[in-house]
Amino acid sequence: MVNLEHLIQEYNLVEVRGDDFIIDMMYARSNNIVSTPVYKNIGFGDKAFLNAKAYAALKKLEPELKKLNMKLRICDAFRPLEAHREFLRLAPVKGLFKAVPEESLHCHGLAVDCCLTDENGKNLSYPTEIDAYTPEFAKELQNKNYDNYFRHLSKAGYNFENCSEEQKQNRQFLRQFMQNAGFSPIPNEWWHFNFI
Ligand SMILES: [Zn+2]
């Protein structure tokens, strides 16, 4: 079990709060790609934390979100090392989670998984769900059908073109939106942004 107070001190974490953010930590629920609420299992709970520097950057987005009449859904932020190790155990497949937990920027509170929603909290349309989650593909992962899973995961990349114009535009808009606040995208997951 993790000690939240220790983690907050060790990584200089701040809880993400605000009307413009929807906190929806996917690894605190069971409908995620490892099919179990790891964050709850290890006593971390369902709150989003970021390193204070990354949080300050995220807060810059609030006036912009209000202007756009949108919200930012946050599905992962700081991730305890214990959780990352559990992901590696539950999904021992190369390239899905960083093999060395300490190298994951999530584990330092310097990465966020997110998407934009309308004012009612309904996600805009993107080429996949965050984590490319579907119940079907979570099952593929559980059954160790890794090839099928990775075929599906390829839809998560920025260069995936076999989706609608609207989805491409939303993906691009999110990328620019996060970059404006100082976050950096990565090529293979449209929802993941680093603060480095
Ligand atoms: Zn991520």
The CATH number for 176's domain is: 3.30.1380.10
Segments forming the whole domain that contains residue 180 = 4-194
Cα of 191 from ligand 1 centre, angstroms? 7
Cα of 78 from ligand 1 centre, angstroms? 10
Strands (DSSP E) found in the chain: 13-15, 21-23, 49-51, 71-76, 111-117, 184-186, 189-194
Which residue bears the tokens 């160790």? 144
CB neighbours (10 Å) of residue 3? 12
pTM higher than 0.95, yes or no? Answer: yes
Please tell me the predicted confidence (pLDDT) of residue 149. 83
Cα of 145 from ligand 1 centre, angstroms? 22
Angle of CA points 146, 148, 186, to nearest 5°: 80
* pLDDT tens-digit readout, 45-59: 999 999 999 999 999
Please tell me the predicted confidence (pLDDT) of residue 119. 97
Please tell me the predicted confidence (pLDDT) of residue 147. 87
Find the helix or strand (DSSP H, E) in which 153 lies.
helix 146-153
Cα of 90 from ligand 1 centre, angstroms? 17
Amino acid occupying residue 99? A
Q: What is the pLDDT along the chain (196 residues), one digit of tens a residue?
A: 999 999 999 999 999 999 999 999 999 999 999 999 999 999 999 999 999 999 999 999 999 999 999 999 999 999 999 999 999 999 988 888 999 999 999 999 999 999 999 999 999 999 999 999 999 999 988 898 888 888 889 999 999 999 999 999 999 999 999 999 999 999 999 999 999 8
Report phi then psi at 49, rounded to 5: -125, 145
Please tell me the predicted confidence (pLDDT) of residue 36. 97
Q: In total, how many domains does the chain have?
A: 1
Cα of 120 from ligand 1 centre, angstroms? 24
Which residue bears the tokens 């934009």? 116
Cα of 193 from ligand 1 centre, angstroms? 7
Strands (DSSP E) found in 38-188: 49-51, 71-76, 111-117, 184-186
Which residues have C-beta under 5 Å from ligand 1, the single-atom ion?
113, 192
d(CA 83, CA 192): 17
Tokens coding 151: 């075929």
